């Protein structure tokens, strides 16, 4: 009998199916909740707007600030603007990362905020958070900081001191020695291993280029002053240098202000600024003598005094630096060597382009990132090419500066040329920051040697 009465079972069957379906739905929801971390997100993800909050939303330019971002949902990508250069997680160097995956809804990070650029009015930017099809933005405003890490003012102060106290720095002259002692004192005060190397003209063996002396070789030693800041990577060094001698065409009035008091002064500003910043690589600051007679000081150091087992990862050359943007004068950033088909150091070249145009916001008509293809480089970077070091050479206005190698190459004439001290400092500021970014990025990046060639 019972076998013939199946009808009552149908509702029961339906009921059990319903339970199974309900359990399955719950299981899917629970699974989604576990995987997605949020039950609601399963239903809301296509419609609910993403939210991004930045704290603080206003930060001083040229200084380091710790930020906190909060987002409504984790798992998306935070896109950092070039206005921020974040510090690496281990705190030892600045990271050039622009995209960060947020694994949690809040994230704190420390970043160097690019200096404010009031003349261009671009002091507002956005952080963007992207998840799937949706994105959210948060504004960031930079203001004028009061204690920037590196500054055109510091660069200027060094140059004013150098040109007024040691104006006649031709190699072998009294001011060459006195300026060297002053520079060594600065390195020592920053806590660096400092040394003044004495080279004789007759010490030169071989030579890096067939360089004809443009002025007679004076008596006395060629001095090279070095200051070394040790990093955890001590077998690949970064070197920052400028020549502190001058051409001394006129023994009574010349200051060698632009050539190359300027490069020396910027190098000293970096020595001050970088003393407080943890860097991965050992960095050496150098003031070269004997440049005007044919790159003698840098050649002697490169030939004789690179410590055994050390390779020079990167050299930043500063010679006639600072008469440039935002003044209507050209900022040349010459990347070299480039002796083969294609770009010899594509990673470095791309990095310098990005930092110059995106990081600094320099316009392409006044900021010229270019390759150097001639070994007749006429400055100390050429010495480094012979130990396979990629180099960047900052040089400002060349062709229209009328005081090159004349007694009128003075700080006063530099100011006059750009229309006043404020304009000169503005140009110094851009140059100082551009080099700062390159040095920090090279310190953080292990790919700079990529594409290197054996150039001899």
Binding site for Zn ion (CB under 5 A): 259-260, 319
* Minimum separation from the CB atom of position 242 to Zn ion (A): 8
* Minimum separation from the CB atom of position 409 to Zn ion (A): 10
Nearer to Zn ion among residue 260 and residue 443 (C-beta): 260
Q: Any idea what the Cα angle at residue 227 is, between residues 367 and 352, rounded to 5°? A: 20
* Minimum separation from the CB atom of position 305 to Zn ion (A): 21
Nearer to Zn ion among residue 302 and residue 395 (C-beta): 395
Q: 453 φ, ψ to 5°?
A: -120, 155
State both tokens at 28: 């899917």
DSSP 218: P
Nearer to Zn ion among residue 338 and residue 409 (C-beta): 409
* Minimum separation from the CB atom of position 331 to Zn ion (A): 16
Nearer to Zn ion among residue 124 and residue 398 (C-beta): 398
* Minimum separation from the CB atom of position 243 to Zn ion (A): 6
Nearer to Zn ion among residue 319 and residue 429 (C-beta): 319
State both tokens at 191: 């806590």
Closest CA to 141 of 128, 127, 125: 125
Cα–Cα distance measured from residue 105 to residue 73, given in angstroms and rounded to the nearest whole number: 6
**CA distances (Å), 185 to each of 1, 178, 182, 227, 356, in order?**
112, 11, 5, 10, 32
Closest CA to 64 of 78, 84, 41, 36: 84
Cα–Cα distance measured from residue 63 to residue 73, given in angstroms and rounded to the nearest whole number: 30
* Minimum separation from the CB atom of position 259 to Zn ion (A): 4
Residues near 393 by beta carbon (within 8 Å), at least 6 away in sequence: 317, 319, 332, 333, 334, 336, 372, 377, 379, 381
Nearer to Zn ion among residue 292 and residue 443 (C-beta): 292
């Amino acid at each position: 009998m019972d076998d013939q009465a199946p009808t009552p079972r149908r509702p029961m069957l339906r009921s059990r199916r319903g339970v199974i379906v309900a359990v399955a739905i719950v299981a899917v929801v629970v699974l989604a909740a576990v995987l997605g971390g949020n039950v609601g997100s399963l239903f809301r993800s296509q419609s609910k707007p993403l939210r991004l909050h930045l704290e603080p939303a206003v930060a001083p330019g040229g200084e380091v600030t710790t930020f906190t971002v909060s987002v409504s949902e984790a798992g998306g990508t935070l896109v950092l603007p070039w206005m921020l250069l974040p510090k690496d997680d281990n705190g030892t160097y600045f990271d050039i990362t622009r995209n960060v995956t947020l694994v949690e809804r809040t994230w704190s990070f420390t970043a160097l905020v690019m200096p404010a650029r009031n003349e261009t009015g671009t002091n507002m930017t956005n952080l963007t958070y992207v998840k799937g099809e949706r994105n959210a933005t948060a504004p960031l405003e930079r203001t004028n900081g009061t204690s920037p890490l590196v500054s055109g003012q510091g660069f200027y102060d060094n140059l004013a001191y150098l040109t007024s106290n040691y104006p006649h720095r031709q190699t072998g002259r009294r001011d060459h020695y006195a300026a060297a002692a002053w520079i060594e004192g600065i390195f020592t005060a920053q806590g660096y291993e400092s040394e003044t190397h004495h080279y004789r003209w007759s010490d030169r063996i071989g030579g890096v280029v067939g360089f004809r002396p443009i002025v007679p070789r004076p008596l006395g030693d060629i001095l090279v002053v070095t200051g070394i800041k040790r990093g955890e990577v001590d077998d690949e060094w970064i070197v920052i240098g400028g020549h502190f001698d001058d051409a001394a065409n006129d023994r009574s009035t010349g200051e060698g202000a632009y050539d190359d008091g300027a490069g020396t002064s910027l190098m000293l500003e970096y020595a001050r600024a970088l003393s407080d910043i943890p860097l991965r690589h050992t960095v050496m600051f150098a003031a070269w003598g004997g440049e005007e007679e044919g790159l003698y000081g840098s050649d002697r150091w490169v030939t004789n005094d690179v410590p055994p087992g050390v390779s020079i990862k990167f050299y930043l050359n500063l010679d006639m630096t600072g008469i440039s943007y935002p003044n209507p004068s050209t900022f040349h950033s010459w990347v070299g060597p480039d002796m083969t088909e294609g770009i010899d150091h594509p990673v470095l070249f791309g990095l310098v382009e990005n930092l110059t145009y995106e990081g600094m916001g320099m316009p392409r008509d006044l900021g010229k990132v270019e390759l150097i293809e001639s070994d007749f480089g006429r400055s100390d970077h050429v010495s480094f090419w012979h130990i396979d070091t990629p180099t960047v050479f900052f040089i400002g206005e060349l062709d229209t500066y009328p005081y090159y190698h004349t007694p009128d190459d003075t700080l006063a004439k530099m100011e006059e040329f750009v229309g006043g001290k404020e304009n000169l400092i503005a140009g110094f500021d851009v140059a100082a920051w551009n080099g700062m970014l390159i040095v920090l990025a090279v310190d953080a990046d292990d790919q700079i040697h990529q594409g290197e060639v054996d150039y001899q």
